[in-house]
Amino acid sequence: MPHDRPSRRRTSLALTLTLVVTTGLLRTGIAGDTGADATRLRVHRLAQNVERAESVRAVKRLQETYAQYSQFGLWSEMTALFADDAQLSYGAGSARGRQAIQNYFLTDFGDGTNGLKPGGLHTQIVLRPLINVSADGQTAKGRWWELSMTGQHGGKADWAAGIFENEYVRERGVWKIARLRYNPMFAGPYATGWRNVDEDQKIVPYHFTPDQTGVPVPDLPDAAIPAADPKMNPATALAALEQRIAAMNEEDKVRNLQNAYGYYMDRKMWDDVTDLFTTDGALSIANIGVYDGPAGIRRALERSGPAGLKQGQLNELVQLDMAVTLEAGGMEARSRGIEFGMLGEADKETAFYTLAVFENRYVKQDGTWRIREMRIFPLMKTDYAQGWAKSQVVDPPPAKHHAPDRPVLTSDVMAPGSIPAFFQSNPVTGKAVSLPAGARTVGHERLLRAPSSAKLAAPSADLEGRLKEAERRLAVSKAWDAAENMNTAYGDYLDDLDFNNLGRLFAEKGHKEVPFSGFYVGRQRIMARDATAPAPGSRPRTMLPLHWLTQPVILVAEDGRSAAARTRLFQPASSRTRAMGFAGGMYHNQVVLENGVWKFWSVVIDEHYFSSPTYEGGWSSAKLTKRNPPVQDATYPPDIPLTKLGDRELGFRGGVGEEISWPGLLPMWFHYRNPVSGRVPDKYWPDCVPCRDYPETSMKNHGYLLPPS
């Protein structure tokens, strides 16, 4: 996402385009506008829509930046993200105004210290965003989950998780946090595990309704649109808007590429991982070395074993809190994010948690984004049985046949106090990130020379054609954010057993899988079946089987009216009486634009790819067992049982053939080819799950374009 200075130039342009004076100006929507005036008005409306679409991403960037700064104890940089009169509440703790907020961070988070003490851990991962910007584009609301891992090696280690319901404001043209409200949900020491914080777990009120979920930015009524400047040159203004739209489109592609990388790593799909790099690509692992080119990168990957998982192996590498910037010229992009790892082998009863920061550069070649430089800076690897207060695992140097091609750059060597570089300026101040005394940055130099700048073709004189294309491309990026909103809302309502609102997320002819049973087709069937589930007000609420849908790969149809999303089910569970662990699955969901509101066409869950029988033993304590088949719902049977879907449900509980349960390996399905090479995965299913055998369930037979695969 572009950093602050370009965003301020864009804001200045938008303000110029929306300048209001008392006489002689044009308004959008006036009957009889023709020719140059009509084109000017259309460009003017496009400018409004671009600015508000960018606002959704600016708000996401704020909260992701908050998490990245927190990870290294940058309390003053976190404070700068807040508005002048901001309010903060963390459970019982509160503060108002930036100085009080900074004091709170310094005292409650930092124990009076700027930065982290040696051996300190303060990772606050934010995930599952749902953002709504107001119609006037000046305020916004956002809902997030936070998972935190904090503590001190040789001291304590703690878990915590909760829900943010935040408010944001555009203050002097810059988006800031106005109200940060953290509602704690579970917490506990590492040794004994987390528990619900309430005896009867609260339901945090939503800032959205199902329909508002599907409209991240509501349409601005014609009467509310500021007047357009009659002196505005439509061609010049459109050229600037095209660049801003292109930046959003390219950001979507880079995010998809990085998230797809994470999924290929999970399954040790080394051919697909290698495909994502350029032929001169480099992979640098701090304090290990640099691996050059496809052969070197493949050698680095095989440090974790040969291609393909074996029974009982877990290699989950969750990609989180990613910031993306498109560099000048549009041919290079950068990203910075957090990688959370859950590793192990059940047969050996080994398990580890890992944390790392990745800093990547991407290049656009022949219209396709590829990874050119990947830097991985490990921050923590700990034995599951002991946790980060007691265990710091240091991997041995690689064997000779896995040795790197060259040492890491001197400036990339990790030492106590090292902080991976923040290549983006603070999104509020526009200034470079200030580090605590004694800290040094790593990852700020290039591994490879900068790519050559592309020669941009002169824009076409066909303003009508360019306008149509700009509007289409904007719709594509707006669909990306809408799809993420939808997936978040699904998880929220499911967590709270709010089946009435969950059903309202679906299109009239949409369909939903009920796990281990089958598909219900049509909104009314979905809502009627869910009405048989526990009522959302059932009390007490003592169990929290959470549904965090994260790491999306979202492919949008050309017309921006439909999209397909692959999201990771990152699932912790919690109760009041005992600790519970993590489990994982995969959602394959489709959304469509129905009557101006985004709705689910299809919701599919493949689970569980791994699970934790107990918190104490984690995922590596699982043993192969046979379970009785699930009992089918005789009073409200599915329209399409899983048993009718052939090989797509092979091995899944309630599906076809013998059930495969962790630590066995369920088949992993993909709705897309490799985004760089086009390699087709072994388990490839580009349309909705029941679509092959029940064509009437496919969106393409109901007037929608099928998203690319």
SS (H, E, C) 237-269: HHHHHHHHHHHHHHHHHHHHHHHHHHHHHHCCC
Q: What is the mean pLDDT of residues 288-305?
A: 97
Contact 609, 515 (CB under 8 A): no
CA–CA distance from 81 to each of 65, 77, 134, 342 (Å)?
9, 7, 20, 31
> If you average pLDDT over residues 228-244, what whole number do you get?
92
Q: What is the mean pLDDT of residues 164-180?
A: 97
pTM summary value: 0.93
Q: Give the chain's length.
A: 709
Tens of pLDDT, residue by residue over 685-698, are 999 999 999 999 99
Whether the per-residue pLDDT at 1 is higher than 50: the answer is no
pLDDT tens digits for 302-318? 999 999 999 999 999 99
10 Å Cβ neighbour count for 38?
A: 16
How far is 98 from 88, CA to CA, in rounded Å? Answer: 9
Residue 223 pLDDT greater than 60, yes or no:
yes
Give dist(CA 637, CA 432) in Å, integer.
59
Q: Compute the radius of gyration of the chain from its Cα atoms.
A: 25
Given this structure, which CATH class describes domain 237-365+375-409? alpha beta
Q: Is the pLDDT of residue 246 over 80?
A: yes
**Which residue did the predictor score with more confidence, 111 or 534?**
111
- Please tell me the predicted confidence (pLDDT) of residue 459: 82
- The model's pLDDT over 266-287, given as tens digits with 9 standing for 90+, comes to 999 999 999 999 999 999 999 9
Q: Measure the CA dihedral 59/62/63/66, to 10°.
A: -170
Q: Can the peptide bond before residue 608 be classed as cis, meaning omega within 30 degrees of 0?
A: yes
Look at residue 209 and tell me whether its pLDDT is greater than 90: yes
The stretch 86-114 carries a mean pLDDT of 95
Q: Where are the domains of the chain?
A: 4-20+35-223, 237-365+375-409, 478-702
- Say what the pLDDT of residue 458 is: 79
CB 127 within 8 A of CB 550: yes
Cis peptide bond N-terminal to 129, omega within 30: no
Amino acid at 118: P
Residue 376 pLDDT level (bands cut at 50, 70, 90): very high
CB 659 within 8 A of CB 703: no
What is d(CA 638, CA 694) in angstroms, rounded to the nearest whole number? 14
Q: What is the amino acid identity at position 644?
A: K
What average pLDDT does this structure show over 337-346? 97
* Residue listed under structure tokens 């489709």: 590
pLDDT at 454: 74
Same CATH fold assignment for domains 4-20+35-223 and 237-365+375-409:
yes
Average pLDDT taken over every residue of the chain: 92
Give CA separation, 10 vs 111, 201, 425, in Å: 40, 44, 16
10 Å Cβ neighbour count for 87?
18
State the DSSP H helix or E strand holding residue 374, giving kind and residue range, or none if neither. Answer: strand 368-383
Mean pLDDT across the stretch 429-437? 95
Q: Please tell me what DSSP assigns to residue 663.
A: T
pLDDT digits 0-9 by tens, 627-666: 888 888 788 999 999 999 999 999 999 999 999 999 999 9
198-209: average pLDDT:
94
Instruction: Inform me whether the pLDDT recorded for 92 exceeds 70.
Output: yes
Burial 130-167 (b: 16+ CB within 10 A, else e): bbbbbeebebbbbbbbbbbbbbbbeeebbbbbbbbbbb
Using the predicted structure, report yes or no on whether residue 571 has a pLDDT greater than 50: yes
474-528 per-position pLDDT tens digit = 999 999 999 999 999 999 999 999 999 999 999 999 999 999 999 999 999 999 8
| Helix and strand numbers, DSSP H then E, in the chain | 11, 24
What is the pLDDT, as a whole number, of residue 537? Answer: 59
Mean pLDDT of 561-578: 96
Which DSSP string corresponds to 91-113?
Answer: TTEEEESHHHHHHHIIIIITTT-
- Token pair, residue 117, equals 């003490």
Domain 478-702 maps to which CATH number in 1.10.287.3510, 3.50.50.60, 3.10.450.50, 3.40.50.180? 3.10.450.50
496 to 485, 488, 547, 570: CA distances (angstroms) = 17, 13, 10, 17
Look at residues 327, 248, 251 and name the one whose alpha carbon lies nearest to residue 49: 248
Of 450, 456, 453, 455, residue with least CA distance to 280: 450
Q: Has residue 14 got a pLDDT over 70?
A: no
Both tokens assigned to 367: 């219209």
Whole-number Å distance between alpha carbons of 300 and 270: 10
Q: Which of 486, 481, 507, 476 is nearest to 208 (CA)?
A: 486
Question: What token pair was written down for 341?
Answer: 């790892």
Q: How far apart, in whole angstroms, are the C-alpha atoms of residue 613 and residue 607?
A: 15
Cα separation, 197 vs 601, in Å, equals 36
Q: How far apart are CA 86 and CA 74, in angstroms?
A: 18
Q: How far is CA 116 from CA 122, 153, 482, in A?
A: 8, 12, 37
Q: How confident is the model at residue 154 (pLDDT cuts 50, 70, 90)?
A: very high
- Which residues are 344's β-sheet partners? 314, 351
- pLDDT value at residue 250: 97
Q: Look up residue 574 and give its two tokens.
A: 């919690």
**591 vs 578: CA distance, rounded Å:** 37
Full DSSP string of 437-498: TT-EEES-S-SSPPPPPPPPPPPPS-HHHHHHHHHHHHHHHHHHHHHHHHHHHHHHHHHTT-
Cβ-count burial of 434 within 10 angstroms (0-12 exposed, 13-18 middle, 19+ buried)?
middle
The model's confidence at residue 329, banded by pLDDT at 50, 70 and 90, is confident
Q: What's the CA dihedral at 645, 651, 653, 657 to 10 degrees?
A: 70
**28: pLDDT strictly greater than 50:** no
User: What does the pLDDT average to over 188-193?
Assistant: 96
The single-letter DSSP state of residue 628 is P
With bands split at pLDDT 50, 70 and 90, how would you rate the model's confidence at 378? very high
CATH 2.60.40.1220 is held by the domain 4-20+35-223 = no
Tokens 């489109």 found at = 249
